[in-house]
Structure 1
Amino acid sequence: MRRDTFLKSLAAMAAAGALPLSANAAANLKMMIPANPGGGWDSTGRALGKALQDAGVASAVSYENKGGAAGALGLAQFVNASKGDPNALMVMGAVMLGGIITGKPPVSLTQATPIARITSEYNVFVLPANSPFKTMKDVVDAMKKDPGSVKWGGGSRGSTEHIAAAMIAREAGVDASKINYVPFRGGGEATAAILGGNVTVGGSGYSEFAQYIESGKMKGIAVTSAARLKGINIPTLKEQGINVEIGNWRGVYAAPGITPEQRKALTDMVLAAMKSKSWAESLEKNAWTPAVLTGPAFDEFVDREFASLRAIMVKSGMI
């Protein structure tokens, strides 16, 4: 759809009351980022906000960071403070599902309104440049001798890197419940811990560590994808004889209690943002894979992901 045609359709929907209240011109959106600054959700939320403005469907986007409990603290605040607000969005993803499974927070993701899955990204495991270890085999060998001696640093409990670490332990014949996993509220905190040598090995999306890998401050030792990431010379876990593959996706939800028409309007706005030049640049810069899914298909995907992650976590000894 041409941009001028799209904007005309927005105007028609606004006249019919199908758009967020401020969207007669362009919406003033509020973006909840349920993590501390510097991580994947933070960069995703701010990139999406910029793309919404670039597409002409948002006149302004304000951001609020609320980290902790794999996004559950931000989810609780979003659910309780944004009921019926057609201009509120929240970044979420696989990490939040894992955190809900392990933490059992008092609020439920089903209280919010699904909008879209937008990206997929695989995790990379890294060592600080001065680590005595050189490869994932070195890490696994040390873990076999003493599981507690290897500190795995990453996102909150239940994050994809936490699950991946547990799966690696299980593949190595180590009791996954005994791994020494150190959770952080945001990518910035995890990065600082890795660079400072406060953890043995760190895991996160490639985009969060890219500058440190390229500058030589970190050494990438494994990715959780089936094949090597395009243009990135880091071996997969499977290449190294560790049969583990797990991806990390990110999406966006809207507030509880909005109307079906308002949900559709927000979905159309996000889809418009996905077609913007700004979003294309963010995908390339961060090595994100576009993975757009909306409507009932997204609802069903989230349900399947809950079941799949729970099964993986039970099998890996995490719950």
Structure 2
Amino acid sequence: MSISKRDFLALGAAAGASMALPTWAQGKPLFDTLNMFVPAAPGGGWDGTARAIERAAKAAGLVGNMQFENVGGAGGMVGLPRYVNQRKGQGNSLMVGGSVMVGAGIANKSPITMRNVTPIARLTEEAGVIAIPTNGKIKTWKDLEAAIKANPKAVSVAGGSAGGTDHILLGMIIKALGRNPREAAYVAFAGGGPANAAILGGQVTAGISGYSEFEEQIKAGRMIALAVSGNRRIPGVNVPTLTELGVNVTAANWRGVFAAPGISQAQRDKLIDFITKVNASEAWKKELETRKWTDVFMTERPFEREIEANIKATEVIMKDLGLA
């Protein structure tokens, strides 16, 4: 028999309590291998969430290996059918998704939506940030506001897929500034990486995304954060909220994990146990702090009810945008 150094130390610590207790088994991860499906291109918020889960899970000894698959496009609506059809009944598989998929499903009139997967847990919430390239013509929020009021169609804004959280936030801002949301000049991208490139390359006037996706460019001085969309400022980030700037708009982007359809209750319980332990780990708390994500952990049935409420509210907003 051979045991790891970690298991040897655990065995030694427990020896006085019960020599017969196989304490090395206590160190066994919940999953030897867990498949993580990301219905977006690498470099965006969902991909970042999936990688953060991997780091926290490995640090907590909850998983041996995690395998990733990225399939981007249409706010998750390209990858979602693939996940539903190929992973049905597989209890060792998770998909990262979020509020973007709600709007994308409505906008694309997709026959497969969040209702076709198994909700496991809502994890985080992140306020959106409106940012501009440092070398662009727009320099301040007042500049951007004036340009939108004059002609929204002339103000191109990069973000995630059409009908997603970023698109909806732009529509809400335009409406609050007295213009028609259908005039939005929204440029959709499959992930945070391509959106960053478009903003820095001057292909668009501004960009909207979760703060963590623009943070590196903002800190490097290549982008300027003009406003955030949360109810309050992001801790440690000296950027005003839209409401502080006189725009009556608040919005946040939530992210969570989903299992494949057709899994058993026992399989679902094991995945909930896994993600609950990830959420409670010190490594995950560090991820939240580093990425400035808000912890909004919620599992199973309450999460299902939240999704249904989110779908209904999003349908109303998207009618304003002419997308539903």
Q: Same fold (TM over 0.5)?
A: yes
Q: Is the 8 A contact 2:91 2:263 kept in 1?
A: yes
Asked if residue 120 in structure 1 is aligned to residue 125 in structure 2, the reply is yes
CA distance in 2, matches of 1:279, 1:253: 18
Query: How many Å apart are 1:312 and its aligned residue?
Result: 2.1
Query: How many Å apart are 1:135 and its aligned residue?
Result: 2.0
- The structure with the largest alpha-carbon Rg is 2
- 1:14 corresponds to: none
- 1:19 corresponds to: none
Aligned match for 1:37, one of 39, 42, 45: 42
- 1:284 corresponds to: 289
Q: Secondary structure at the match of 2:33?
A: strand
Asked if residue 222 in structure 1 is aligned to residue 221 in structure 2, the reply is no
- 1:129 corresponds to: 134
CA distance in 1, matches of 2:30, 2:136: 54
Q: Report matched runs for 1:34-113 at 5 Å.
A: 34-113=39-118
Query: How many Å apart are 1:230 and its aligned residue?
Result: 1.1
Asked if residue 174 in structure 1 is aligned to residue 179 in structure 2, the reply is yes
Query: How many Å apart are 1:316 and its aligned residue?
Result: 4.6
Segment drifting more, 94-103 vs 23-32: 23-32
Asked if residue 231 in structure 1 is aligned to residue 249 in structure 2, the reply is no
Query: How many Å apart are 1:317 and its aligned residue?
Result: 4.4
CA distance in 1, matches of 2:192, 2:63: 27
Query: How many Å apart are 1:253 and its aligned residue?
Result: 0.2
Following TM superposition, the consecutive aligned residue runs of length 4 or more in structure 1 with deviations greater than 4 angstroms are none
Q: Is the 8 A contact 1:166 1:317 kept in 2?
A: no
Residue type of the alignment partner of 1:210:
E
Give aligned-pair identity as a percent.
Answer: 43
Residue type of the alignment partner of 1:197:
G
- Give the TM-score, by structure 2 length: 0.89
CA distance in 1, matches of 2:61, 2:309: 34
- 2:299 corresponds to: 294
- Give the TM-score, by structure 1 length: 0.90
Q: Report matched runs for 1:159-170 at 5 Å.
A: 159-170=164-175
Residue ranges of structure 2 left out of the alignment (5+ in a row): 1-9, 11-27
Cα offsets for 1:256-295 (capped at 9, x unmatched): 1000111011000001111223212211111011110002
CA distance in 2, matches of 1:190, 1:102: 20
CA distance in 2, matches of 1:120, 1:154: 17
Residue type of the alignment partner of 2:157:
W
CA distance in 1, matches of 2:223, 2:58: 35
CA distance in 2, matches of 1:312, 1:303: 15
Q: Report matched runs for 1:5-44 at 5 Å.
A: 26-44=31-49
Q: Is the 8 A contact 1:176 1:318 kept in 2?
A: no
Residue ranges of structure 1 left out of the alignment (5+ in a row): 5-22
- 2:19 corresponds to: none
Residue type of the alignment partner of 2:170:
A
Query: How many Å apart are 1:57 and its aligned residue?
Result: 2.2
Q: Secondary structure at the match of 2:68?
A: strand
Segment drifting more, 188-197 vs 304-313: 304-313
C-alpha RMSD of the superposition: 1.5
Residue type of the alignment partner of 2:101:
M
Q: Secondary structure at the match of 1:240?
A: coil
Paired residues in the alignment total 298
CA distance in 2, matches of 1:270, 1:161: 27
Cα offsets for 1:66-113 (capped at 9, x unmatched): 100101111111001001101110000000111001111131322211
CA distance in 2, matches of 1:54, 1:191: 30
- 1:248 corresponds to: 253
Q: Is the 8 A contact 2:218 2:225 kept in 1?
A: yes
Query: Are the structure 2 counterparts of residues 120 and 50 from structure 1 closer, same or farther at C-alpha, using a change threshold of 3 Å?
Result: same
Q: Secondary structure at the match of 1:117?
A: strand
Residue type of the alignment partner of 1:178:
E
Query: How many Å apart are 1:60 and its aligned residue?
Result: 0.5
CA distance in 2, matches of 1:50, 1:160: 26
Aligned match for 1:313, one of 296, 318, 322: 318
